[in-house]
Amino acid sequence: MTANAPNSTAPKTLGADKLYVRVSAISSLNALVTRFEFQRVDGVNFPPFSGGAHTVVEMMDGEKKRLNPYSLMSDPTDLRTYAISVRRDDQGRGGSLFMHRKVKVGDEMVLSYPMNLFALDLRARKHLFVAGGIGITPFLAQIKQLEATGGNWELHYSCRSPDLGSYVDELTGHYPHSTTIYYDDEKQFIDLDNLLDGQPVGTHLYVCGPKGMIDWVRNTATASGWPLAHVHHEEFLAPQPGKPFAVRLNKSGLTLEVGAHESLLEAIERLGVDAPYLCRGGACGQCETDVLDSDGTFLHRDHWLEDDEKNSGEKIMPCVSRFEGKTLVLNR
């Protein structure tokens, strides 16, 4: 069916509406992490969200539009503000540096509606959180959600040093019995075997942090007999830089060069071609694109495509994946 036939009212923008916001507060938590708070330009409350959700922040960095996803880490029951925490990445592609160096209180910015790829499993009898570094952010909102609804949770949070322990004081102050902190500098490490041993049936385990930590937690859990259906992870997948490559877009008839420090999706957007996306991190599948012709090697980095789809050379996720070779033609 197509109800939006002639004489239809003009449909709003395809995809969700955007949120127009003003930066209401900026606070430096430590040498690496800064917290940004937003209020809506129109003065009304933000839409509700679920713990673990992220928003995509649009940054106008000179001519360049950057779109980076960040976990919402404010209290889901207080919708006057949204907050994110940004860890400065000096080796990254520039989004976090832009936030740290250029964004000032009072600036207007655009956020996407919240989207959750790391939701709580609400069937859980107990939620067991394992966080590493900036991976603490989604848990902050999830903890608030569980506190408001009477959920049972426990947090094990590993940081490099007391100086870099974002939100440690808040957590240990409010929830001293549910929170355990580990400092690498002080040779404190999560004793995972012991932690996993004896967790009651109905426990769900969540891990967010560096890739090495996610792999370690998943592998240890599997080896102790935990079903992976009870183990959840969120990985911050950022597009990796790579060699420049050329792409032809079949529908729009355009040919473009993807730069070393931009993603294929960003390059397509730069040319003004409308391409769908939600997470920009290789997880949601929304930007899946058909490959019409190729001669070269795909660098698939997403978590979405099945292995046979990756090997087929017929699909690519332009938000995180790249290409090296002579020819690449996309159905876009």
Partner 1 sequence: MTLQFNNETFRDDYSFHNSQRAIDRFPFPFHEDSYMYAVNMEQHQGGPADSVYEKRFDVDEHYVAEMADRAKVLDDDPLRCQSLPHMALAGWDLLELIMVSKSEDYPDLFELHREGHKWHWINKPLGIEDHFTFMDDTTLPYAPMEYITRQTQGDFCVLDQRKDNLWMDAGMVTTQADWSLDFDIGMNFFEWHAPVPLAHEKGIFKRALKFLLNIRQGAPARRLNWTMTVNPLLDTSPENYHKWGIQKTTLTPENIGAKQHLRVELQTFFRLPRSNALVFPIRCYLMSFQDIVTKPKWGRRLNRVVRDLPEELATYKGFIENRPMMLEYLSQFDDGLPTSFGVWPDEDITPLLQR
Partner 2 sequence: MSTFQFPPSIRSRPVYGILEPRPGKVHLMIADAEGAAAFIDLAFRAPELVAKAHVIYIPKSTDFAAALHALNPAQYYEGPSYSAAVSRIKRVLSDASMDLQIYLAGTEGLIGQALNEAMQAGYDYTAIQTEHRGSVARRMQCVHCKGITEDVTTDPFQCSHCGLNLFVRDHYSRRLAAFQGVCIDAEKPGSVPPFKELYS
What does the per-residue mask of binding to partner 2 show for 200-219, with x meaning CB under 8 A? xxxx-x--------------
Q: Give yes or no for residue 200 binding partner 1 (CB under 8 A).
A: no
Q: Give yes or no for residue 5 binding partner 2 (CB under 8 A).
A: no
Give the integer Cα–Cα distance in Å for 281 and 302.
7
Quote the least distance from Cβ 14 to partner 1, whole Å.
7
> Contact 139/2 with Cβ under 8 angstroms?
no
Q: Give yes or no for residue 149 binding partner 1 (CB under 8 A).
A: yes
**Other CB atoms within 10 Å distance of the CB of residue 66:** 17
Quote the least distance from Cβ 219 to partner 2, whole Å.
11
Give the integer Cα–Cα distance in Å for 284 and 299.
18
Residue 176's binding partner out of partner 1, partner 2, none, with CB under 5 to 8 Å set by partner kind: none
Quote the least distance from Cβ 221 to partner 2, whole Å.
8
Q: Give yes or no for residue 2 binding partner 1 (CB under 8 A).
A: yes
Quote the least distance from Cβ 229 to partner 2, whole Å.
4
Q: Which of 21, 32, 36, 49 is close enough to bind partner 1 by CB under 8 A?
A: 49
The token pair that represents 28 in the structure block: 């430096």
Q: Which of 216, 286, 310, 314 is close enough to bind partner 1 by CB under 8 A?
A: 286
Quote the least distance from Cβ 282 to partner 1, whole Å.
14
Give the integer Cα–Cα distance in Å for 332 and 329.
9
268-288 residues labelled b (16+ CB within 10 A) or e (exposed) = bbeeeeebebbbbbbbbebbb
Residue type at 286 in one-letter notation: Q
Quote the least distance from Cβ 100 to partner 1, whole Å.
28
**Other CB atoms within 10 Å distance of the CB of residue 121:** 13
Q: Which of 21, 32, 33, 53 is close enough to bind partner 1 by CB under 8 A?
A: 53
Quote the least distance from Cβ 314 to partner 1, whole Å.
14
Residue 230's binding partner out of partner 1, partner 2, none, with CB under 5 to 8 Å set by partner kind: partner 2
Give the integer Cα–Cα distance in Å for 183 and 189.
7
Q: Give yes or no for residue 199 binding partner 2 (CB under 8 A).
A: yes
Q: Give yes or no for residue 227 binding partner 2 (CB under 8 A).
A: yes
Site for partner 1 in 105-124 (CB under 8 A): 113-116, 119, 121-123
Total residues in contact with partner 2, by rule CB under 8 A: 21
Q: Give yes or no for residue 156 binding partner 2 (CB under 8 A).
A: no
Q: Give yes or no for residue 131 binding partner 1 (CB under 8 A).
A: no
CA distances from 61 to 23, 30, 54, 67 (A): 16, 24, 21, 10
- Residue 92, sorted as left (phi over 0), alpha (psi -120 to 50) or beta, turns out to be beta
CA distances from 24 to 104, 113, 189, 226, 253 (A): 9, 18, 37, 44, 43
Q: Cα-Cα-Cα-Cα dihedral of 33, 151, 236, 268, to 10°?
A: -110
DSSP string of 71-117, one letter each residue:
E--S-TT-TT-EEEEEE--TTSSSHHHHHHHH--TT-EEEEEPPEES
Give whichever of 3 and 229 is closer to partner 2, judged by the CB atom. 229
Q: Give yes or no for residue 122 binding partner 2 (CB under 8 A).
A: no
Q: Which of 72, 83, 109, 196 is close enough to bind partner 2 by CB under 8 A?
A: 196
Task: Give the binding site for partner 2 (CB under 8 A).
Answer: 123-125, 196-203, 205, 222-230
Residue numbers at the binding site for partner 1 (CB under 8 A)? 1-9, 11-12, 14-17, 47-50, 52-53, 76, 113-116, 119, 121-123, 145, 149, 229, 278, 284-286
